[in-house]
Each structure stands twice: as C-alpha cells, then as structure tokens.
Amino acid sequence: MRLLMVEDEVRLAEAVQRGLRAEGFDVDLAHTGPDGLDAARTGRYDAVLLDIMLPGLSGYRVCRALRDDGDDVPVLMLTAKDGEYDEADGLDIGADDYLRKPFSFVVLVARIRALLRRAGEVRPGPYSAGDLSLDPAARRVTRGDIEIALTAREFAVLEYLIARAGDVVPKTDLLAAVWDAFYAGEANVVEVYIGYLRRKIDAPFHRHALETVRGAGYRLAADGG
C-alpha cells in the first residue's frame, strides 16, 4: 500500500516513514503544502497523511483542492491543533479522520488500516477499455461477447491496469498493489504476468492493448487496442 505523508517537521516525518515501512507500507514524503498537493495529484496513493499547519498551503486547502478535483483518496489529518472546531473543519472539507499530535504510533497504524478497510468496502463499478470489460464484483472479464478465464493474479493485474487505462503504470506500483510489500522474489514476475495476459486478452483477438513503455512501465490502451 502506498501512502503520502505531508509533514513539515522533517524529523517526525522521517521517523514515521521508517516505522510505517517496517509495517509494510510504501511511504513518500512532502514537506510543504504545494509539494504535497502536487505529489497527491500526480502519484497514486492509497491514503494521504496530512498535517494542517504547512508552509505555502495549509492542509485544509490541500484537502479541499483534492476533493474539488474529484479525488476521493482517504485523508487522515495529523495536527497539533486540538480544538473541536478545528477537527470539525477538517472533516467538513473532506478529511476522513483526524489524529492529534503527539500521537501513538500504534494508534496511527490502526487508524490507517481502518481507513484502508473502509475505502476497500466501496466496490468499484465495471471497467471497460473499448470492447474489453472487467467486472470486479462478478469477477468476470470479456472481449465483446466472449468471456475470458483468468487466474486470480492475472485478474488482479488486469484490474489494476484497466482502472488506469491510458496511463503508464510503473512496475513497482503493480508489485505493491498486486503482490505485497513483503514480496522478495524476482521483479520480472510482472513481465511474466503481462505475457500471460497478452496471450489471453490480446493474441486470440488480434489486438495489442497491453503496451510495454520502456523504462517506465505498462499501459493498457484506453480503446482496448
């Protein structure tokens, strides 16, 4: 799971980053409001840990900008501000949870996991790229009227790619999302599964939906190839 922590207290941010990495999370840091907003907009994160008192742009404004963008990434406010109105303000502008400093690291991890569980409860609707469709609820993949049988891992790789159809997806993102933070095997396992998918969703239909972008990752054509 990928997290973004936006915190201007560098030593605190780095300490939390080390702790969360030990818990199996992949954590990026930003130390100003503008940098945090840019990272949140350009990265693909499962949750954002957001301080309120930030240089350049407050956490309130960062959160509001993300919600105005239509980004529903879970946001956990981390702040020394302890007034009930401050907490209400954070929740009203779109934050999902609020944790006051100083906080227990154990509680922080528990809050993050709870946020991620709640986010996972919202089942995404069917995805499509041209005539290629994937329905997560039914666990079904089709090309036109033809159903394609995939293994659980193949399905997970395709689901991650089709949800981002048209975008380049780094190999590291696929590893983190489809395998897990403790995977210690060969990174070329991603290429292996891309090959499996090409033989199932492309080759029989004379399509080229799955593209390797050298040095960057993989892209599933938005038009289905």
pTM of the model: 0.55
Per-residue pLDDT of the chain (225 residues; tens, 9 = 90+): 789 999 999 999 999 999 998 888 889 999 999 999 999 998 888 899 999 889 999 999 999 999 888 888 899 988 776 655 555 666 777 888 888 888 888 889 888 888 887 766 545 668 899 999 998 877 889 999 999 998 888 888 898 899 889 989 888 888 877 765 445 566 688 899 999 999 999 999 999 999 999 888 999 999 998
Q: How many CA atoms lie within 13 A of 131 on its CB side?
A: 13
Residue 95 lies in a domain: yes
Last residue of a domain, one of 72, 100, 121: 121
Q: Which of 202, 195, 196, 209 is nearest to 150 (CA)?
A: 196
The residues pairing with 220 across neighbouring beta strands, listed in sequence order, are 210
Asked if the structure places residue 225 within a domain, the reply is no
Q: Which two tokens stand for residue 188?
A: 């070329």
Is the residue at 145 inside a domain?
A: yes
| Type of residue at 48 | V
- The boundaries of the domain holding residue 172 are 127-220
Burial letters for 34-46: b for 16+ Cβ neighbours within 10 Å, e otherwise? ebbbebbeeebbb
What is the CA 38 to chain-centroid distance, rounded?
15
Q: 100: phi > 0 → left, psi -120 to 50 → alpha, else beta; which?
A: beta
Number of domains in the chain: 2
**How many CA atoms within 13 Å lie on the side-chain side of 197?**
28
Q: Which of 121, 138, 156 is the last residue of a domain?
A: 121
Residue 165 lies in a domain: yes
